[in-house]
Structure 1
Amino acid sequence: MLMHPWDTAHDEDEWRAWLSRHDFGRPSVNGPPGEPPWVQPTHFLYEPEPGPHGRVLLHPARPNPLRRALEANPEVLLNVVDDHDFAPGRWTAPEDAPPEHGTPTSYHAAVQLRCTARVVDDPAEKAALLNRQVAHFQPEGGTAPAAPGEAPFGRLLSGIRVLDLEVTGVRAESTDAGNKPREVRERVAHHLSDRDGPGDREARAHRLRRLATG
């Protein structure tokens, strides 16, 4: 992922706060020799501890090729992208230039987590980690916990593998015209509000947070 200096996260707190609002991404692993990488879109749970960068939990089905690939190489790259928008050129033109001289630009925010995977197959540990994920996505409860040998989900545990990903490195960026004057960045945020298309409100909120911090 190319990152210009003006696109990098302001600090660790910024990318952690952004990631806390996002829990769907694309973990990628090395494919077999001669094959492209394998990518699996999935929900995940990011936890800021343990370790300096935290960990990620997810649970692919047992036949998922992700699991087989990790037995050969445990390295994973989890890519999370959101708050994206397209800005027409007239939005980004310099103050002293005609609108048609502006550059049409695509913007986004992204966090890439480099991880080392541990495949969890012990039924008790697998159930405990799975229950943590369910509690994140369904904090109101209403679903019985998974427990080995107990109904209703004990018999289903053999059909999944929990991946416990230790985060070993982080790359975080936000392409939000950080190399342009503040008035241009504010103008783009204003136009996002006017356009109010799919994803524009979320993208605008992200832009305003970036403007408020630098």
Structure 2
Amino acid sequence: MFIQPWDAALDDAEWQTWVAEGHDFGILSVNGLPGHPPAVVPTHFTVDGTALLVHLARPNPDWKAIEADPNVTFTVTGDCAFIPGPWRAKPDVPATDGVPTSYYAAVQFTCQAGIIDDPAAKAELLRRQMAHFQPDGDHAPIDPDQPPYARMLPGIRGLRLDVTEVRAKFKYDDHKPVEQRTDTARRLTQRGTALDVPTAAQQLRRLNRIGTWKS
């Protein structure tokens, strides 16, 4: 992932807060077996200290690739929108000469994957995930020796992704003039399709922290 200086996270707290605000679905990328392309698996995840917790169905064919090479990447993206060229045109050129772009936030984790097959450890992983996704506790006790999970746990395998590097990108034209970024956020809010409104919120958040970009 290419990151321009003005697109970089301002500090670790920025990307950590962004992930914690509900960006808990991403793409697990695994090196392919010889002669095969990389494997890409969409899945929810939970943060556990310096690791990500994931579980996948046991029949998933990508387990062989993970076992062969535990070096994986996990990518989370969101708050994205297409920005038309006229919105970005400089004042002294025709609006149709403006160059379009994409706005988005992305956090990319480089990880070492550890497979979890022990029933008790899988149950603990699920308890941690359910504490995040169903904090009201409206589910049966996750016990590897009691129904219903005693029957279901053999159908999954757990993954602990120990994070070795984090690269975060917030691409919202922070190197452009304040007036232009403010106007783009207004246009996004006015257009209001797909993720336009949260994208505008990210742009304004960054603008309030950065102001005029200084290299």
- Deviation string 1:89-110 (CA, Å, 9 cap, x unpaired) is 1111123433223211111110
State the one-letter code of the partner of 2:28.
P
* Aligned residue number for residue 208 of structure 1: 204
Unaligned residue ranges in structure 1 (runs of 5+): none
In 2, Cα distance between equivalents of 1:210 and 1:196: 19
* Aligned residue number for residue 11 of structure 2: 11
- TM-score, normalised to structure 2, is 0.93
In 2, Cα distance between equivalents of 1:145 and 1:70: 30
Unaligned residue ranges in structure 2 (runs of 5+): 211-215
* Aligned residue number for residue 134 of structure 2: 138
Q: How does 1:91-130 map to 2 (within 5 A)?
A: 91-130=87-126
In 2, Cα distance between equivalents of 1:29 and 1:65: 11
* Aligned residue number for residue 25 of structure 1: 26
For the 8 Å contact 1:93–1:184, the answer to whether it is kept is: no
Determine if the alignment matches structure 1 residue 58 to structure 2 residue 54.
Answer: yes
User: Which residue, 177, 187, 191 being the options, matches 2:173?
Assistant: 177
In 1, Cα distance between equivalents of 2:96 and 2:175: 19
The structural deviation recorded for 1:127 is 0.1
The structural deviation recorded for 1:211 is 1.1
Determine if the alignment matches structure 1 residue 150 to structure 2 residue 143.
Answer: no
In 2, Cα distance between equivalents of 1:36 and 1:118: 21
The structural deviation recorded for 1:157 is 0.6
Identity among equivalent pairs (%):
49
In 2, Cα distance between equivalents of 1:28 and 1:65: 13
What SS does the aligned partner of 2:56 have?
coil
Runs of 4+ in 1 over 3 A off after TM superposition: 95-98
Determine if the alignment matches structure 1 residue 187 to structure 2 residue 188.
Answer: no
State the one-letter code of the partner of 2:11.
D
What SS does the aligned partner of 1:15 have?
helix
The structural deviation recorded for 1:168 is 0.3
- TM-score, normalised to structure 1, is 0.94
CA RMSD of aligned residues (A): 1.1
The structural deviation recorded for 1:149 is 1.8
What SS does the aligned partner of 2:34 have?
coil
How many residues align structurally?
A: 209
In 2, Cα distance between equivalents of 1:145 and 1:38: 33
What SS does the aligned partner of 2:105 have?
strand
In 1, Cα distance between equivalents of 2:79 and 2:56: 26
In 1, Cα distance between equivalents of 2:181 and 2:35: 44
State the one-letter code of the partner of 2:88.
T
- Deviation string 1:65-105 (CA, Å, 9 cap, x unpaired) is 23221211111100111111011111111234332232111
- Deviation string 1:104-126 (CA, Å, 9 cap, x unpaired) is 11111100000001101111111
Deviates more, 1:33-42 or 1:96-105: 96-105
